[in-house]
Amino acid sequence: MKTILMNHKSSGENKSDFRRLLQQYEDLRDGKSSTFLEEESFEKIIDYFEEKDNLKQALEACEIGLSIFSYSSSLWIKKANLLIDFRRYEDALLILEKAELLDGMSTDLCVLKTEVYLALDLQENAIEFLHNALPRFEGEERIELLFELSDVYDDYEEFDKVFDVLVMILKEDPLNEEALYKICFWTDFTGRNEASIKLHKELIDQYPYSELAWFNLGAAYQGLKLYEKAIDAYMYCTTIDEKFDYAYRNMGDAYIRLRKYKDAIESLEKVLELSRPEEVLHDAIGYCHDKLGQWAQARFHYRKASHLSPGDSKMYYKIACTYHNEEKFESAYKQLEQALKMHPDNADYNLAMGLVLAELGKLDDAIMYLEKVIHIRPKNIRAWSSIIECLMAKHEWEKAVSYAHIAYMNTAKKHVFSFYSIAALFGWGKIKESLKELEISMQLAPRQFKKLIEICPKILQDSRAAEIISRYKKKKGK
């Protein structure tokens, strides 16, 4: 909630005059003088003590002022504000009701009274009070109270009503920047994208050069995954204001969703031109280069991201993946070492390390990392299959068969592991068992035989195996 601040800037007036005024007040307070002070002078003195964070003296000045100007609604309001600071909410409420009788309602009074109701956990009273007060105000004062009402709904997590009040504000003041910024957030938070699209189309019809309205329209389309329409809206936004960096940022995200990575890079690099560098921007640009197979450019941006956030292990992992894609396994290994120092139990990092070590021929080390992955994620197909391939490369056929059976059970009976078992049995020299399992597996999952050919091409040299595969391929064709 907002707190009323009626600040006095003594630097704006002659300091010696204010010192003289303060001395007159102190003499009056101490009974040394019968000097008369104006109501405005008391307000300045109260503000001065508030600025000095001397609330007790500010309250004392209020009391003295009210003893002279007992019908001053502004002094009563100041007293209520100070009582709120002292958490004397019931007393503050009584004072505000007195001020209301003296001089009707002001926005300051309404804000303070709302704050008191909320402090006393009387949300319904606060809402009812504001709704009753709104018809008495117009223009900027009415807008101020509508914002107050939206804050009340926010505090009590009635988020759809926050959105509704912001719509009311924009109906009355279509170019209100605070409301336009806020409704963008609340559209995303509440998922009221359709309502936001309708509202902002109406605003744009009335004010076609409102860049914020175009931006909010784009964000609402993006919330509905209508990325092409979102991009069109952002383009209008950046045509009006070519330095609207958030429009380029969101446009970049929309292009990524559409897999238009070159366009995304262009938009995101524009953001870098307009704002300070951020990890998330370099990460996103690196991702786009990654998707385009531009590994060196991807690494450049991942490293930029890493420098901006040195503790982010993901960047080392992503750099390692670019090296892996280029088959630069030693370089990938060094990056993964850094990532694993930070997060030794991360399944993705351990899997990547296992795959790199397998490529480097360090099979025992690879198995150690891959076993850690299946301990963390027992259903990880890539880890199970890679362990079995490592065991087969070491000619540990019996163990490979055993792992294939365990993997089959742990991965909800993925038939690909039956073909791993077949390959291991064949390599082990247990041809009869291998062919028997091949017959069953081709009945159950004939499409998976491609994995068998990939890991054990020699099996096609066996005429019986070739005949079984050929027979089920023909059945599949029919």
The sign one gets for the Cα dihedral 38, 42, 47, 48 is positive
Higher pLDDT: 464 or 28? It is: 464
Given a cut of 60, whether residue 2 has pLDDT beyond it is no
Which stretches does DSSP call E strand in 269-327? none
Percent of the chain with pLDDT over 90: 69
Site of tokens 């929309």: 254
Instruction: With CA atoms as reference, report the closest residue to 80 among 68, 95, 70, 66.
Output: 95
Higher pLDDT: 104 or 252? It is: 252
Say whether 371 sits in a helix, a strand or coil: helix
* Per-residue pLDDT tens digits for 304-359: 999 999 999 999 999 999 999 999 999 999 999 999 999 999 999 999 999 999 99
Length, in residues, of the chain: 478
The sign one gets for the Cα dihedral 48, 52, 53, 58 is negative
> Other C-beta atoms within 10 Å of 453: how many?
14
Q: pLDDT band at 70, cuts 50/70/90? A: low
Helical segments of 360-462, H only: 363-376, 381-393, 397-410, 416-428, 431-444, 449-455
Average pLDDT score over residue span 218-229: 98
Write the Ramachandran bin of 138: left for phi over 0, alpha for psi from -120 to 50, otherwise beta. Answer: beta
Distance CA 145, CA 267 (A): 39
Distance CA 164, CA 30 (A): 54
What does the block give as tokens for 213? 């309205």
Say whether 54 sits in a helix, a strand or coil: coil
- pLDDT value of position 368: 97
**Three-point CA angle 179, 280, 221, nearest 5°:** 45
- pLDDT value of position 393: 96
- pLDDT value of position 14: 66
- pLDDT value of position 107: 87
Average pLDDT score over residue span 271-300: 97
Average pLDDT score over residue span 147-160: 94
- pLDDT value of position 84: 83
Q: pLDDT band at 246, cuts 50/70/90? A: very high
Q: pLDDT band at 4, cuts 50/70/90? A: very low
> Other C-beta atoms within 10 Å of 121: how many?
10
* Per-residue pLDDT tens digits for 28-37: 776 666 667 7
Given a cut of 80, whether residue 111 has pLDDT beyond it is yes
DSSP line for 335-352: HHHHHHHH-TT-HHHHHH
- pLDDT value of position 477: 53
- pLDDT value of position 221: 98
Given a cut of 50, whether residue 474 has pLDDT beyond it is yes
Mean pLDDT of the chain: 90
Q: Residue 433 burial by CB count (10 A; 0-12/13-18/19+): exposed, middle or buried?
A: middle
Number of alpha carbons in the 13 Å side-chain half-sphere of residue 77: 25
Q: Cα–Cα distances in Å, from 461 out to 11, 375, 418?
A: 96, 37, 20
- pLDDT value of position 223: 97
Average pLDDT score over residue span 135-151: 94
Q: pLDDT band at 97, cuts 50/70/90? A: confident
Domains of the chain by start residue, with CATH: 1-157 (1.25.40.10), 164-275 (1.25.40.10)
H/E stretch holding 20: helix 15-29
* Pair 144, 168: CB distance under 8 Å: no
- pLDDT value of position 366: 98
* Pair 287, 295: CB distance under 8 Å: no
Distance CA 344, CA 363 (A): 19
This prediction has a pTM of 0.82
H/E stretch holding 298: helix 295-308
Instruction: With CA atoms as reference, report the closest residue to 328 among 300, 284, 295, 305.
Output: 295
Q: pLDDT band at 9, cuts 50/70/90? A: very low
Distance CA 139, CA 332 (A): 63
